A = this chain, B = another copy of it.
Amino acid sequence: MADSRTPRSAEGLGSSSPAPAVTRAAAVLDALAEAPSGRLTLSDLSRELGIPKSSTSNLLMALEEARLITREGAEFSLGRKLVELGAAYLSRLDEVQEFYKFCEQAPTLSGETVRIAMIDGDHIIYLARYEGHPAVRLTSNIGDKMPLSLSAVGKVLLAQLHDHDIEAMFPDDVELPVMTPKSLRSAVELKAQVAAIRKQGYALEDEESTLGVVCLAVPVPTHGAHGPSLGLSVTALKATFSEEQAALMVKELKELAHSLGNPMG
């Protein structure tokens, strides 16, 4: 997707980093993560990030020594250590452990596909997935990202933000990403939904990211001031989706959200 003609400068001109080498190294990791093939050469990186070749070479050597990237011939790709670090992050979230336990025991949810997600910049990121439903395997994985406007969790998390933050992210004339004919197209429409979500306490996504698939989501009340807000969602096939079922799911999701929000034994 990234236009290879447009080098995205690692440094935003005026904003000089307090540790440029680190900022640039992070840009290297990003570039590798976003590259379609996942593999780039020194020259590729140097060109795309606008970093001199010799400097890039130094960065890559340091990153390789830290196992954050791997060299394979002349091509570099992400390293295994990133899996460790990502896992270390997730293992610290007690919510994830409890999430699994709860899903297994919940009468309705235990048979569905449930996910827990978190807001991450202008996207959501999936942290864990419970699959009671081996028949419907989602293509999305832990760690995957999604635009806020295209998912139920995204909308529900958006609804948790202050209005001026929402306005900053979605001015009225902004272009929203579109994945299906039913995707929301205007920021005005999105903000109207946000208002509705705040009233009813849950969000619905009706084939807006994948045709034939609907999603329900609720927010997890953020306990105390610390930690970013989490959201929960159930995914179901539109064909087998009924009002009563939806009501049950929302009820159980809210129970789960409540128990995640109030840490107890």
Contacts and interface: CB of A to CB of B under 8 A. Distances in A.
Nearest to A56: B19
Interface stretch (A71-79, A213-221, A255-263): A71-79
Nearest to A127: B83
A62 B143 contact: no
Q: How many copies does the complex hold?
A: 2
Interface residues of A, number: 60
Interface stretch (A22-30, A175-183, A184-192, A194-202): A22-30
A80 interface: yes
Interface string A85-124: 1111111100000001000100000000000001011000
Contacts of A104: 134
A53 interface: no
B88 A38 contact: yes
Given A86-B143, A88-B143, A73 B19 contact: no
Nearest to A139: B97
Interface of A: 17-23, 25-27, 29, 32-34, 38, 57-59, 61-63, 65-68, 72-73, 77-92, 100, 104, 118, 120-121, 125, 127, 134, 137, 141-145, 226-228
27 contacts: A18-B58, A19-B61, A22-B22, A26-B63, A26-B66, A26-B68, A33-B84, A33-B85, A34-B88, A67-B121, A72-B226, A72-B227, A77-B92, A80-B118, A80-B120, A80-B228, A83-B86, A83-B143, A84-B86, A84-B125, A85-B86, A86-B87, A87-B142, A87-B143, A88-B143, A91-B141, A91-B143
